[in-house]
Amino acid sequence: MTRPSDATDTRRSLVLAGHGMVGQRFLEALYEKEGADRRWRVTVLAEEPRPAYDRVHLTATFTGTRAEDLALTPPGFLDSHGIDLRLGEPATAVDRDGRTVTTASGDRIGYDALVLATGSYPFVPPVPGHDADGCHVYRTIEDVAAIRSRAAGARTGVVVGGGLLGLEAAGALRALGLRTHVVEFAPRLMALQIDDAGGAALRRKIEELGVSVHTGAAAERIDTDADGRVRALALSDGTVLDADLVVFSAGVRPRDQLARDCGLPVGDRGGIVVDTGCRTADPRIHAIGECALAADGRVYGLVAPGYAMAETAARRLGGEDGEFTGADTSTKLKLLGVDVASFGDAHGTTEGALDVLYADSRAGVYKKLVIGPDGSLLGGILVGDADSYATLRPLAGSSAPLPVPPEQLLLPASAGPAGGPVGAAALPDDAVICSCHNVSKGTIRTAVAEGGCATVAAVKKCTKAGTGCGSCEKALTTLVTDELAATGTETARGLCEHFTHTRAELYEIIRVKGITTFTRLLAEHGSGQGCAVCKPTVASILATLGDTPYILDGEQAALQDTNDHFLANLQRNGSYSVVPRVPGGEITPDGLIVIGEIARDFGLYTKITGGQRIDMFGATVDQLPPIWRRLVDAGFESGHAYGKALRTVKSCVGQTWCRYGVQDSVALAIDLELRYRGLRAPHKLKSAVSGCARECAEAQSKDFGVIATSTGWNLYVGGNGGMTPRHADLLVQDVDRTTLVRTIDRFLMFYIRTADRLERTAPWIERLEGGLDHLRAVILDDSLGICAELDELMARHVDTYQDEWAATLDDPERLRRFASFVNAPGTPDPAVRFVPERAQIRPSRPGDVDGTAPSVPLIAGPALKVRTP
């Protein structure tokens, strides 16, 4: 039936068919225009059962993100504008003569303007068996739920399609514990975005993670069992892959059936034909996003062009001029943990274009810049290291000359003064920083200098920069900080966009208010849903201040990163390392034998580290519990190599054995390591104890180091090695053991209380107002009156400490997470492969044949090449 209209409502009727990302952006752009509420009565017809959500980050739902976390519609937005959103009721027909839209329920809605934002649908190759039980597409939240459900009973999954979505789907299957294959018809992965060399680099990195890649082959048929369930996928090259689950991600096609049925012109390969104003052949009907064939003859499958089309249509319907003549198709993603970016004329199709290349196969890095005949940057490809994308992409769209020679834009910072990318400050004001919303550097600077925006969050709200794919976040933050500094405004130092407070301020809030959950902290003092920055940071604070230090119970488990989640360090091929604690570096022959037997029995690689302990590499997730059961039974405990916590306290043999030693450095090192084990901190902590001034334990290169004197102990703080080594500073000297330990207690707890996220003790001390003198005043003279509290916190840590692995092994429910395949606990991941080398094992690499390493060594390192026409 036709819906009756309110005779007193003089607004014109606008129907939006589709409520995806582009549809929501259209609504926001429409109501940004003054008078839109008085001009339009809007009805939105949505096919899905929920309002618009962030499809770009759909993969995050496989790793704990909730569906509601992806919501794009601001709270109250629909109600405040009187928008009639009909969920699960898509448009099914358009009567152009009668100007009505028929919905799935049979309702007919009249329109004065109709906007088609119906998006696209996944292309499924018409191979035999494509509709078998176990075949899925990867497009919606419901698709994710179906894949997750099927994966619970699967061991092997195959993704058909090696493009952006295909590799995201592969990452999802791997995260679900499936052995994963990727099948791509083209000769390389991501054929539209990167070249052959980039594709080879990406393939190497992905295969190192245990994902099998098959290029130059097409899906030929899907074999099923007697019950009609998928059991294998046959390829055109004769390969047959075992498969319990097949995900088709072989591209999308425009959803243009509504237009076809009502007689609107569509392209030969699909897409509703529109002009530069996004109008169809019927001036009352607009089409935007993936369903539209733009005036330049392209169907755009990325969100940024869709947003630009949405804004164009909104301007036109608001009585303003607006044109869409094309869009930036640059992309930056982290696919299976590998950074990949492509921007501008990445394939060098411009006449006279030259390439500048950098490749380091050891690190899995490939970079290419395409330079125009006039020396301008036309485009580029980045694989393995895309940190410079935020600067390079705007340069490719700018008319400005390169600020430095092109090779400087590619070389890593470690190459010296000539290396490292230029910063956002070098970009001209017309450089587009956010391609999703077409926001320039000049617009961002104006928002800060003239618009009163004093935080990144405020700039996001004002300009929408950084609210799309998120790839411009780093450049945006830099620009806002620089502009605030230029105007003399104090820069906000909030932890992330969800908290305006610093880490130290959040620590105080949690301590004073007794907050025990991230959910409560976010609700009372933050906004949004949290992110990969604030979640583990808050988890660390809660572990320090909470009643129990165990990190994998309840809500705490969802806040941890990958290493903490499995109480082990993830290695490059998907295996894990096992690092038992060896306090002070002292280990008995029986302990050595236990470690040796475990390494032998489980086939692990062993290495003595600079921290005076033995690391074992190559364990799969399912092997971690049985390995640790044997270690715990032998008296070992977690070495916390996976956490931001105390790692080791090194020691020399001291006066017990060394003729130069003046104190028992080993005994002190053991006591200190056992006292501070498991202490969560803003960053890792390292320590050492030397038995004399000869300093064999290198105590002055540690976060806190102790050197024996003939009358006591000297304490040094704020040292570190790494890329920027720093000699530690002498804090106290010739103190007795009790005073020494009390001083270290207070030093560590004051650091944990006041340091920023991921701030080592060295920069923390340098940042303290008053530096070392202030630190002495606080922890020695109690100038702030907090020493009793610091003492109490450390005492509580010592009293409540429990070995995380021992606590895990004693709880069957906690052990459930340690399975390569959720449906087959105890089954190892066959994708984690090794080859022999120097009488041990190492992760297999592309080029290894029949389980052996190549005889010809790999040559790697900086390589600059220039392609001539």
Residue labelled with tokens 């048929």: 221
- The tokens describing 496, both together, are 């992330």
Sign of CA pseudo-dihedral 627, 802, 613, 684: positive
**Annotated binding residue 658:** yes
Judging by DSSP bridges, how do beta strands 219-224 and 230-235 pair with one another? antiparallel
Q: Do 756 and 682 touch, CB atoms closer than 8 A?
A: yes
Say which residues have a Cβ less than 8 Å from residue 148's Cβ, sequence separation at least 6.
62, 176
Q: Give CA separation, 100 vs 11, 82, 96, 110, 210, in Å.
A: 16, 20, 7, 4, 53
Judging by DSSP bridges, how do beta strands 685-690 and 338-344 pair with one another? unpaired
Distance CA(338)–CA(723), nearest Å, equals 23
Distance CA(656)–CA(669), nearest Å, equals 13
Supply the DSSP string of 129-179, one letter for each residue.
TTTSBTEEE-SSHHHHHHHHHHHTT-SEEEEE--SHHHHHHHHHHHHTT-E
Number of H helices, E strands in the chain: 27, 38
Which of the 8 DSSP states describes residue 3?
P
Distance CA(660)–CA(663), nearest Å, equals 10
Beta bridge partners of 369: 356, 380
Which of the 8 DSSP states describes residue 320?
-
**Annotated binding residue 696:** yes
Supply the DSSP string of 533-546, one letter for each residue.
THHHHHHHHHHHHS
Burial class (CB in 10 A: 0-12, 13-18, 19+), 90: buried
User: Terminus-to-terminus CA distance in the chain, angstroms?
Assistant: 65
**Annotated binding residue 453:** no
The total of other beta-carbon atoms located within 10 Å of residue 857's CB is: 7
Element (H or E) spanning 475, and its range? Answer: helix 473-486
286: closest CA among 275, 298, 302, 296?
275
- The tokens describing 453, both together, are 């925006």
Alpha helices in 9-50 (DSSP H): 21-31, 36-39
**Annotated binding residue 469:** no
Distance CA(278)–CA(298), nearest Å, equals 13
17: closest CA among 147, 158, 114, 122?
114
Supply the DSSP string of 183-222, one letter for each residue.
EESSSSTTTTTS-HHHHHHHHHHHHHTT-EEEES--EEEE
Sign of CA pseudo-dihedral 138, 143, 149, 153: negative
E strand spans, 628-752: 646-651, 685-690, 704-708, 713-717, 729-735
Distance CA(21)–CA(277), nearest Å, equals 19
Residue ranges for the known binding site for siroheme are 696
Residue ranges for the known binding site are 652, 658, 692, 696
Residue ranges for the known binding site for [4Fe-4S] cluster are 652, 658, 692, 696
